[in-house]
Structure 1
Amino acid sequence: MTSSEALIFEARDTEIFSIPDTKTKLNTLQNYFFPRLKRLLDEALLQVKEAYHIDPFEKYNFIYSPSHRKEAKSNRDTDLVLIGVSGRRHFDRQLKVIREDGKPYAFHPASAIFQVTNAGRMSVSVRPFNWWDDDYFWKLKKYFRQNYDEFTALLNQGNLSYTSHTDQIQLAPLKQMLRDEYFFEIQSSAVYLPVANPMAIDQLILDFVLLFPILDICYSLAEGVKPKFPEHVQALSTWLATRKQPVFLKPDDQEIQMPELDSYRFVRAGLWYQVLARDNWTCCSCRRSAKEHGIVLHVDHIQPRSLGGKDEIENLQTLCLKCNIGKSNKDSTDLRS
């Protein structure tokens, strides 16, 4: 998926979670929201490759949730969306993480993900303990203790933090957390929708790159091989010293790029996404789609409201952000045919 268009997450995206029909909600997430998250992940993995001189796809697969099939008889509702990577399954060797029945787990225990809540909170995290055994659990904590200075320097570089998986205890100091029996995950600071400024997008990507060595430690220990954490830290330091920073956009600059559009004020959320689905998540003008190009789509009045046009589905069509900005408010062209 490629697109030269700026990656944008709108405040209206949170309204997807309010769609009452679960199947429609999941369909909208899959066809409209996930493609932009995939663009975010693709760029993060590209920068992982540049920073650490590795091909992440040799060891990692995509994961995402919710997973939705059109023919499913029932669908689970969700207030959380995530996309990321976890260790690739190898059929020629077994993991060193063992289930209670004595058989090795088939899938890697750790994942690195972008996640978005129904409140519009976006963050990055590494989850080391999706499943585990005692040997993996304590080896991982021991490894972090042995590399404590590098580990904490990595956290501080990106203002990353750790969190416990239990609400019953106060968060212990980091050194204690690496010795106690509680699970944890590493998280980035959050950003909140709308997210349009390249600086905010870049910070999410950078946090993913910073978290990647932690994921790779988990991968190595589960495989029973020595982690390359010291090499990764050194490569990261070199990469950060030469990395170009995105241009900061002031609020006034963003307003020029994101004008106030008529349909935003008058088309209710349910109808908005009904129009996008009817038009197959594709711009009726340039024919680019959200699924293939990861673009933002808007709903346009064919006959403008200023000329008596109504907020009814027959008078609405899907346009991408660029085409909608370029269309005059006095233009009544029906682009659907």
Structure 2
Amino acid sequence: MLPVDLQFESRDTEIFVIPDTKTKLNTIQNYFFPRLQKLLDSALIEIKTAYKLDPFDRYSYIYSPSHRKEAKTNRDTDIVLIGLCGRRDINRQLALKRPDGKPYAFYPATAVFEVTSGGQMSAYVNPFNHTDDKYSWKLKRYLRDHLDSFSALLNAGGISYISQTNQQLLQPLKDLLKNNDHFFIRSSVHYLPITNPLAIEQLIVAYVFLFPLLDLCSCLAEGIKPNFPQQVHLLSEWLTNRQELTFTQPDKENFILPELDSYQFVRAGLWYQVLARDQWTCLSCRRSTKEHSIILHVDHILPRSKGGKDELSNLQTLCLKCNIGKSNRDDTDLR
């Protein structure tokens, strides 16, 4: 697997403090989701290779927040999620039952990448999105019966399990699978900014490790035999056959943030107002966040060092690469 050309900035967390909820949600969808989508798609390519299957045969994308422009109300959020959930089939009822005895329409487990307002980024599986004791105990019994495979998966992938009711309590794995507690299964946490390709690589690999647990939960929900032991074996083969990472010499821009004229000075609200006005597209090279998953910066047309002000009329959208090239050497208006 080669490193994915993808970055997340410290400034990304400022999206969460945009005061207007609709503006915040539009920014998440237009500026944040394209990069997360690229991260997820890279993981899905590896899942297809590792487990010799097409994940879209049985799974669908999930997003949160799932904001619609025409929505009458907009719910605020302090986290962003993107991942997979079992594909709903109206012709096949799940084995899971609601408290009223009717089958659930949606699958109980999700596997997602999560970004929090504090700048924490990780991958995790939540196996218990529904209340169904029969399913919960079936899952825990299955994991007890395949404890060696489950433990090997967690250890090899650096994956941890976290109690939903008491996240400060560290329980032995055997005890966790015998009590009423529900739990998350989560990768190690990375903190924004994430500009090193190795960190992106680690997030992708963690998601590949989590997939057998998502698939196990989905099989139990459907009432079919899980492929968990076989998938753990395939994962072991994938790791054995996987070539060592070979990094080409990275561009300087990937690791050193230059002293860009606008980077630290444009307040967050105005920053995202400029990006939205310019349709989330670099006005120099015409690459966009939606199509190219690039980092965008707001550039002062007349540099601050030459008297340029933090005003909408003096600001334009450039990608990181074009902004580095321009620096404060000219005052070209690309709008």
So what's the TM-score if we normalise by structure 2?
A: 0.95
Preserved contact between residue 307 and residue 330 of structure 1 (Cα < 8 Å): no
The C-alpha deviation readout for 1:21-40, integer Å capped at 9, x for no partner, is 11111111111011111110
- What residue in structure 1 maps to residue 111 of structure 2? 112
1:168 CA displacement? 8.6
**Which string of whole-angstrom CA distances, capped at 9 and with x for unpartnered residues, describes residues 37-86 of structure 1?**
11100001110001110000001000011111112222111111111000
Letter in 2 for 1:229: F
1:194 matched to 2:193: yes
Distance in 2 between residues matched to 1:8 and 1:42, nearest whole Å: 15
RMSD: 2.0
| Amino acid in structure 2 at the alignment position of 1:326 | G
Determine the C-alpha separation between the residues in 2 that align with 1:98 and 1:335.
58
What is residue 34 of structure 1 aligned with on the other side?
33
The answer as to 2:16 corresponding to 1:17 is yes
- Tell me which residue corresponds to 2:149: 150
Aligned pairs for 1:177-188 (under 5 A) are: 177-188=176-187
The gaps in structure 1 that reach 5 residues or longer are none
**Residues of 2 paired with 1:254 and 1:162: CA distance?**
36
For structure 1, which segment, 47-56 or 237-246, has the greater mean C-alpha deviation from structure 2 after superposition? Answer: 237-246
Partner of 1:166 in structure 2? 165
Question: Retained in 2: the 8 A contact 1:197–1:249?
Answer: no
Q: 2 CA distance for matches of 1:187 and 1:256?
A: 27
Partner of 2:132: 133
CA distance in 2, matches of 1:272, 1:94: 47
1:264-306 per-residue CA deviation (whole Å, 9 max, x = no partner) reads: 1221111111100111111111211112221110011111223
1:48 equivalent in structure 2:
47
TM-score (structure 1 length as normaliser): 0.94
CA distance in 1: counterparts of 2:297 and 2:168, whole angstroms: 46
> Any idea what SS the aligned residue of 2:72 has?
coil
The worse-fitting range, judged by mean Cα deviation, of 169-178 and 109-118 is: 169-178
Q: Which residue of 2 aligns with 1:324?
A: 323
- 1:304–1:282 CA distance, 2 compared to 1 (3 A): same
- 1:310 counterpart SS class: coil
- SS of the aligned residue for 2:264 comes to helix
Q: 2:17, 2:100 → 1: CA distance?
A: 42
2:108–2:221 contact (8 Å) kept in structure 1: yes
Amino acid in the other structure paired with 1:28:
T
Q: Per-residue deviation at 1:94? A: 0.9
Quote how far apart the aligned CAs of 1:258 are.
3.2
Q: Where in structure 2 are the equivalents of 1:1-337 lying within 5 Å?
A: 6-167=5-166, 170-247=169-246, 257-336=256-335
- Number of aligned residue pairs: 333
Q: Secondary structure at the match of 1:83?
A: strand
- Cα displacement string for residues 96-130 of structure 1 (whole angstroms, at most 9, x for unaligned residues): 00112221111111000000110000011000011
**AA partner of residue 71 (structure 2):** A
Q: Which moved more, 1:104-113 or 1:234-243?
A: 234-243
Distance 2:7 2:153 in 1: 28
Asked if the contact 1:141/1:178 (under 8 Å) is kept, the reply is yes
**1:130-157: CA deviations, max 9, x gaps?**
1141221111001100000110010001
Contact kept in structure 1, 2:260 and 2:327, CA below 8 Å: no
1:114/1:122 contact within 8 Å kept: yes
Tell me, yes or no, if the aligned pair for 2:253 and 2:321 is still in contact at 8 Å.
no
Aligned partner letter, 1:163: I
Task: Give the secondary structure class of the aligned counterpart of 2:194.
Answer: coil
Distance 1:254 1:333 in 2: 22
Distance 1:257 1:243, change over 3 A: farther
Contact 2:107-2:221 within 8 A present in 1 as well: yes
Deviates more, 1:90-99 or 1:248-257: 248-257
What amino acid does structure 2 have at the position aligned with 1:160? Answer: I
Shift of 1:260: 2.4
Identity rate of aligned residues, in percent? Answer: 65
Query: Which amino acid counterpart does residue 87 of structure 1 have in structure 2?
Result: G
Query: Which range moves more in the overlay, 236-245 or 47-56?
Result: 236-245
AA aligned to 2:281 is: T
- Structure 2 residue runs of 5 or longer lacking an equivalent are none
Partner SS for 1:180: coil
Q: Report the Cα distance in structure 1 between the residues aligned to 2:227 and 2:255, rounded to whole angstroms.
A: 46
Question: SS of 2:207's equivalent?
Answer: helix
- Superposed displacement of residue 255, structure 1: 6.7
Indicate the SS of the match to 2:217. helix
Q: Matched residues in 2 for 1:204 and 1:9: separation?
A: 13
Alignment CA distance shift 1:131-1:272 (3 Å): same
Greater CA drift, 298-307 or 270-279: 298-307
Q: Distance in 2 between matches of 1:160 and 1:70?
A: 37
Distance 1:256 1:123, change over 3 A: closer
